[in-house]
């Protein structure tokens, strides 16, 4: 067994030593100049990540603000919706997985919601999306990289439809931003949300949001949730602070993590993520495993989260397979909700090495061997090596 623990879950992901060390520094007040400079560093790095996540490295966003939130991305999802709608508003939510569904559930509490649904793992029918978005639509929500299914959704096409209807477009880029292409302006995104513990490779507990000036104009403080008042957060962000006590060690860790991203450079980082996801896909395929989902229609397979169908025999007793993976000191994820016992998921978000991708594929192959599935581990390893 390899001694070192390998975390391959789709978040939290491994963090660097420098990121870990940043959390151990002596405490300072969240109203001090020392903290403001941490916020400013994190915000500067996030500006790059939110607006330059393209293979060309050019900027795709003009006017907006990066915010850091004292809570995970679900807080950001709720904050975006709650600040942009009122009870009379019409929101269209695209749902083809657990996180798209979460957006719809959040919105149910604040306004009238129309769901455009596809089976988890399936592609959206863009004609159905176009029919649902009309001139009475105020906000459209969607998830870019659906972590629950390992699927990349067509944000660009839906952004065009939202803009034609003059609706605000709120996008969960939690498992894409920092690891894959994400274009605020080109895709007509008004609010983008991400989590610290995913492709940003920071510890969990805080999240980030990019708010365009167009969205900021609509946010109205009076009806906003007190803790998640967007106007208030934007005002304080101008002074590099949060409205309430900041999670100081987590902000420090985030500042270092985003600096590591800008050091690597976004085009290089995105290319590495794509290569590693392809290596996972090819490695598992070479061992005889079927992808989940099959890429169909306007969706493609994710470059950050690889979902794979469990062989039928494993579906009958999936725990034995997952135990066999854990025994090798590797952590992977199963499926969520009704996909539990149907699939397994691994992540290459953050800062995985080629050796770690290789170990992930080898571990899955060996664990399958333990539960009497005849997986060709050597073929899996050869496929990964050829890709990396
Ligand atoms: N959206 C997506 C696509 C995610 O993968 C996650 C976390 O897994 C979230 C949102 C937010 O979850 P949380 O608030 O628990 O960090």
Q: Are residues 110 and 216 in the same domain?
A: yes
Q: How close is the Cα of 152 to the center of ligand 1, in Å? A: 15
| Ligand 1 pocket member 280 (CB < 6 A) | no
Domain stops at, among 222, 244, 264: 264
Work out the number of other CB atoms within 10 angstroms of the CB of residue 206.
Answer: 27
Q: Are residues 69 and 136 in the same domain?
A: yes
Ligand 1 atom with the smallest distance to the CA of 76 is 14
Q: Are residues 236 and 283 in the same domain?
A: no
| Ligand 1 pocket member 175 (CB < 6 A) | yes
Q: How many domains in the chain?
A: 2
**Which residues pair with residue 94 across a beta bridge?**
116
Q: How close is the Cα of 73 to the center of ligand 1, in Å? A: 6
In angstroms, the CA 56 to CA 50 distance is 14
Which CATH number covers residue 302? 3.90.1150.10
Residue 325 dihedral angles phi and psi, to the nearest 5°? -70, -45
C-alpha distances (whole Å) from 11 to each of 48, 132, 312 are 22, 32, 27
Q: Are residues 87 and 171 in the same domain?
A: yes
CA triple 267-347-333, angle to 5 deg: 165
Per the document, the length of the chain is 388
| Ligand 1 pocket member 331 (CB < 6 A) | no
C-alpha distances (whole Å) from 59 to each of 53, 73, 96 are 8, 24, 30
In angstroms, the CA 151 to CA 283 distance is 18
| Ligand 1 pocket member 278 (CB < 6 A) | no
Domain stops at, among 232, 264, 296: 264
Residue nearest to atom 14 of ligand 1 (CA): 74
Which CATH number covers residue 64? 3.40.640.10
Among 193, 204, 30, CA closest to 106: 193
Q: Count the helix, strand and coil residues of the chain and give each as a percent rounded to the nearest 5.
A: 45, 15, 40
* In-domain check, residue 1: no
The answer to whether the CB of 345 falls within 8 A of the CB of 8 is no
Q: Are residues 244 and 284 in the same domain?
A: no
Residue nearest to atom 5 of ligand 1 (CA): 147
Can you say whether the dihedral through the CA atoms of 282, 284, 290, 294 is positive or negative? negative
pLDDT in tens, the chain (388 residues): 557 999 999 999 999 999 999 999 999 999 999 999 999 999 999 999 999 898 887 777 679 999 999 999 999 999 999 999 999 999 999 999 999 999 999 999 999 999 999 999 999 999 999 999 999 999 999 999 999 999 999 999 999 999 999 999 999 999 999 999 999 999 999 999 999 999 999 999 999 999 999 999 999 777 899 999 999 999 999 999 999 999 999 999 999 999 999 999 999 999 999 999 999 999 999 999 999 977 788 889 999 999 999 999 999 999 999 999 999 999 999 999 999 999 999 999 999 999 999 999 999 999 999 999 999 999 999 999 999 9
The answer to whether the CB of 159 falls within 8 A of the CB of 129 is no
Among 307, 285, 306, CA closest to 365: 285
- Convert the pLDDT of each residue in 255-292 to its tens digit: 999 999 999 999 999 999 999 999 999 999 999 999 99
| Ligand 1 pocket member 73 (CB < 6 A) | yes
Q: What is the pTM of this model?
A: 0.96
End-to-end CA distance of the chain, in Å?
23
């Amino acid at each position: 067994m390899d001694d070192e623990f390998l975390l391959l879950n789709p978040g939290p992901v491994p963090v660097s030593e420098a990121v870990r060390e940043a959390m151990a520094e002596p405490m300072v007040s969240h109203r001090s100049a020392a903290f403001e400079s941490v916020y400013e560093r994190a915000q500067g790095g996030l500006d790059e990540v939110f607006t330059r996540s393209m293979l060309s490295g050019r900027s795709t966003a003009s006017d907006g603000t990066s915010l850091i939130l004292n809570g995970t991305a679900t807080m950001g999802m709720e904050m975006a919706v709650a600040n942009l709608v009122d009870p009379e508003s019409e929101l269209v939510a695209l749902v083809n997985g657990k996180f798209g569904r979460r957006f719809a559930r959040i919105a149910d509490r604040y306004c009238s919601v129309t769901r455009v649904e596809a089976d988890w793992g399936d592609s959206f029918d863009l004609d159905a999306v176009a029919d649902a978005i009309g001139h009475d639509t105020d906000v459209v929500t969607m998830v870019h990289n659906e972590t629950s299914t390992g699927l990349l959704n067509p944000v660009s096409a839906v952004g065009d439809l939202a803009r034609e209807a003059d609706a605000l477009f709120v996008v969960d880029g939690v498992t894409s931003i920092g690891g894959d292409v994400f274009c605020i302006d080109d895709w007509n995104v008004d609010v983008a949300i991400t989590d610290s513990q995913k492709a940003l490779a920071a510890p969990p507990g805080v999240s980030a949001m990019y708010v365009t000036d167009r969205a900021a104009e609509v946010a109205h403080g009076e009806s906003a949730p007190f803790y998640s008042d967007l106007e208030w957060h934007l005002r304080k962000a101008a002074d590099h602070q949060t409205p309430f006590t900041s999670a100081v060690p987590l902000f420090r860790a985030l500042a270092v993590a985003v600096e590591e991203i800008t050091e690597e450079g976004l085009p290089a980082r995105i290319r590495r993520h794509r290569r590693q996801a392809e290596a996972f896909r090819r490695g598992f395929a070479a061992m005889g495993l079927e992808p989940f989902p099959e890429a169909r229609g306007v969706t493609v397979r994710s470059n950050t989260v690889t979902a794979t169908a469990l062989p039928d025999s494993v579906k009958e007793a999936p725990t034995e397979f997952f135990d066999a993976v854990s025994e090798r000191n590797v952590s992977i994820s199963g499926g969520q909700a009704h996909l539990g016992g149907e699939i397994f998921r691994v992540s290459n978000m953050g800062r995985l090495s080629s050796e770690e991708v290789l170990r992930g594929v080898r571990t899955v192959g060996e664990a399958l061997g333990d539960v009497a599935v005849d997986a060709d581990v050597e073929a899996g390893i050869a496929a990964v090596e050829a890709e990396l």
